[in-house]
Structure formats: structure tokens, C-alpha cells
Amino acid sequence: MTDIPASAAHPALGFHTSEAAQARLRKRYRAEGRFKIYGIVAILIGLAVLATLLVSIVSQGYTAFVQTTLTLDVYVDPEQVNEENPGAADYQGLVNDAIYALFPEDTTRDQRRDLRGMVSIGSGLILRDMVTADPSLIGQTVSVTAPIASNIDQLHKGNLDRDGRIPVSEAQLGYYDTLLADGAVDTRFNWSLFTNADSREPELAGLRGALLGSLYLMFVTFILAFPIGIGAAIYLEEFAPKNRWTDLIEVNINNLAAVPSIVFGLLGLAVFISVFGLPRSAPLVGGMVLSLMTLPTIIIATRASLKAVPPSIREAALGVGASRMQAMFHHTLPLAMPGILTGTIIGLAQALGETAPLLMIGMNAFVTQAPDSLTSASSALPVQVYMWSDSSQRGFVERTSAAIMVLLGFLILMNAIAVLLRRRFERRW
């Protein structure tokens, strides 16, 4: 038996005896080690950038989930509130009278203006809803927890430095300190962020309209894109003849998946609105545009899932007498469904985050009421982010980041559902 040199028996170098071969092996192993290091560094850089982005968004947006409030004792004057028509009174004036009463010595015009600016104009709406729901409150003193004005709210949350240049007067700073010391200023969870629609006032602006608009959009997109996409993919993959026409269709589907989303918005504006006369800013039109954008993704994912099913499944079904249609819908399609659902959810998640096509069809309109149908004027979460980011008021900065957090939460949820579906139904061959 031939003895193998000890140097050549090294497990990393194999059984090569040539010095040149060993040098080449060492060079390849060093290159492999450097490649692993490059990969780890790339992953760390990506994680660092992602962490920086998330920290920046969360640090600016988490304060939007709490609301600074001011508790006032408001006298519902029966001379100003008519019991037969309680909704027609000047409730904001009653709230203003209540805050005037806290500082009776301040009676000048400027002082009264600063006092009125301490509370949100939505305070009167809260009092109106209370009295309308219970007219027996007329003639009584009611405790009202009113949202404080946006600038004071930002000051209380620490988003404004009181030693710097801030949009709060010296008098208002004094009022704020007094009310805070008296325990009238408090913070609570900001339910209005989810129950209110958009508003010109940051402390009153909410996401309800955008949330419902996004849900309507996803409903229309799914109803249109899912069956059409699956049907087209099944036909192209299983039944269509292989010729130049089907090849052309396949190439165009792949190209449509790379078309900028704003092009689909232009198509929706030109066809759905200009030609068919459908309403602007409506979730119906937005969903139709997004379904066109999502169709290529669903078709490509469905065809890939069908190809992943082993041919033996089809052959076995055909061998026992099943038709091609039966083999497809009874055997191939159920096995491909996990991949189809995964691709569909990923396509819908991509559509949920689109802004450009919705801007083209006018869904950036200022809408103060949540939509109640598919044809009502509406906004969407990404469009709401765009609109709030364009405002110069500090209160909308935190609202913008909060809306991004909500949008990211929905996207993470949809991707998690896609992963769970694949793990739950995936078959390994």
C-alpha cells in the first residue's frame, strides 16, 4: 500500500500530493472565506439600515398613539341650548366660557385668544355629542375631557423645546404650567387616531377613512385579480397550445410585472374615469387599477406553483381515466394552492403600499368622512401618509410616522399570513 504524505492527508486539502494543487486549494478556501465575510457584512449593513429606518419612524410616531387632554367643567346654558334642537347650539362657545372661567382675571382680547387656543376646536363637537345623546344635561355642569390644541399637545409630549422658537405664546406657556400643576392636563390612548377621518387640525386627524378606503381597495382588487389571474395562469400553463401567440402573451405578462405603477394609474384615469365616467377618488376605481397591476404577479406565481407540482400527479390522474380538467382541478390545483395563495397575498401587499396610481385617479382629495360604499370618495393609507407628510405643522409629523407604522403593521401581517399558509399546506416531494 502506498503511504500518503501527512501534509497531503489534511482534511481541508484532500489527498493531493502536488504543492501547486495544495496552493490552489488554499487559494480557493481563502476566496470562499472572504465571500462568506462579504455576505455577513452585507447582511449586517442591511439590518443596520433597516433598524435605523424603523427607529426613526417609531421615535417620531409613537407619541401619536397618545392624546393630551384638558378636563373642563362646562355649564350647558339652557339659554344657549334649545332642548328641541340641541345640535344647533354654539358648543365651542360654551367650552371657551369654561376655560375663561379658569382664569377670570385675564379678560383682554389677546388673553382670551390665547385661552381659546389652548383647546382643540373639536371640543365643542364632543360636548355637542354628549348633550345630543342625553338632553337632560341641559342646565347642568358637565365634565368634558377635551383634546388640547396641537401645539400644546406637542409641547406636552416633548416634541417641542420650550426654550426654542415654538408656535406657543408666553401666555399660553403660563396657562399650560398652571393647568398642569392643577392636574387638569392628562394623557390617554388616542382612540381618535383610529375613529376619526382626516382633518385640518392635527389633534383631530385620524386614519379611519384611510383604513376603510384601503380595505375597500383590497376587496375590489382581490375579487377581480384572484379569479382572473388564476384562470389565465391555468389556461396558459395547462391548456393553451405552445405557439408564437402564447409565447408573445407570456412575454407581455412578464413585462407588465415590471411596468411602473404610475402607468396603471394613467390607464385608470384615461379609461375608467374619462371613458366610462366612474367617480374619482372611489375605492372601486382604485381597486380596478390595482387589480390590473396585481394580475401579472398572480399569474406568474400561479404558473410557477403549477409547474412545481410533479408531472406524475397529472399522469396518475390521467392514467385512471380522469379528464385533463378533472386532473387539474381535483389534483394539480389543490397541491399548487399554497404557492398560489402566497403569491396572491404578496401581490396584494404590494398593491396596499402603492401611492402613484391612486394619486392619478384623485384619491388624494381631502375627505373628512369615512367611505360607506365602493363609490364614495375615499383615501388610502399610503396616500394619507403622502398628504400628511406635505403639511408643515409639527402635529402632522407624528401622524405621518404613526400612519407608516400602521401601514407597515398591515404589510407584516399579510406577509406573515403568506408564510403561515405556505408552511401549513406545503407538500415536499
Residues 154 and 128 in one domain: yes
Residues 233 and 165 in one domain: no
Query: Which of 171, 195, 219 is at the close of a domain?
Result: 195
Residues 103 and 56 in one domain: no
Residue 297 domain-assigned (yes or no): yes
The residue among 16, 20, 28 whose CA lies nearest residue 8 is: 16
Confidence of residue 240 (pLDDT cuts 50, 70, 90): confident
The residue among 296, 299, 268 whose CA lies nearest residue 284 is: 268
Task: Over range 399-418, report the average pLDDT.
Answer: 90
Residues 57 and 69 in one domain: no
Residues 72 and 52 in one domain: no
Residue 10 domain-assigned (yes or no): no
Of the CA atoms within 13 Å of residue 52, those in its CB half-sphere come to 6
* pLDDT over 50 at 275, yes or no: yes
Q: What is the pLDDT of residues 36-48, one digit of tens each?
A: 999 999 999 999 9
The residue among 322, 398, 288 whose CA lies nearest residue 60 is: 398
**Domain span holding position 299:** 208-425
Residue 357 domain-assigned (yes or no): yes
* pLDDT over 60 at 261, yes or no: yes
Residue 9 domain-assigned (yes or no): no
Residues 27 and 158 in one domain: no
Count of domains in the chain?
A: 3
Residues 38 and 94 in one domain: no
The residue among 148, 190, 213 whose CA lies nearest residue 402 is: 190
Q: What angle do CA 106, 109, 110 make, to 5 degrees?
A: 80
Residue 331 domain-assigned (yes or no): yes
Residues 296 and 405 in one domain: yes
Residues 32 and 83 in one domain: no
Residue 259 domain-assigned (yes or no): yes
The residue among 161, 54, 157, 69 whose CA lies nearest residue 401 is: 54
Residue 8 domain-assigned (yes or no): no
Task: Give 257-325 as a DSSP string.
Answer: TTS-HHHHHHHIIIIIITTT-PPTT-HHHHHHHHHHHHHHHHHHHHHHHHHHS-HHHHHHHHHTT--HH
Confidence of residue 11 (pLDDT cuts 50, 70, 90): low
Residue 190 domain-assigned (yes or no): yes
Residues 369 and 220 in one domain: yes
Residues 54 and 152 in one domain: no
Task: Over range 115-135, report the average pLDDT.
Answer: 90
* pLDDT over 70 at 17, yes or no: no
Residues 336 and 364 in one domain: yes
* pLDDT over 80 at 391, yes or no: yes
31 grid coordinates: 476566496
Q: Please state which of the ranges 8-22, 113-127, 231-245 shows the lowest mean pLDDT.
A: 8-22
* pLDDT over 90 at 221, yes or no: yes
pLDDT of amino acid 206: 92
Q: What is the pLDDT of residues 173-197, one digit of tens each?
A: 999 999 999 889 999 999 999 999 8
User: What is the separation, in whole angstroms, between the first and last Cα of the chain?
Assistant: 45
pLDDT of amino acid 38: 95
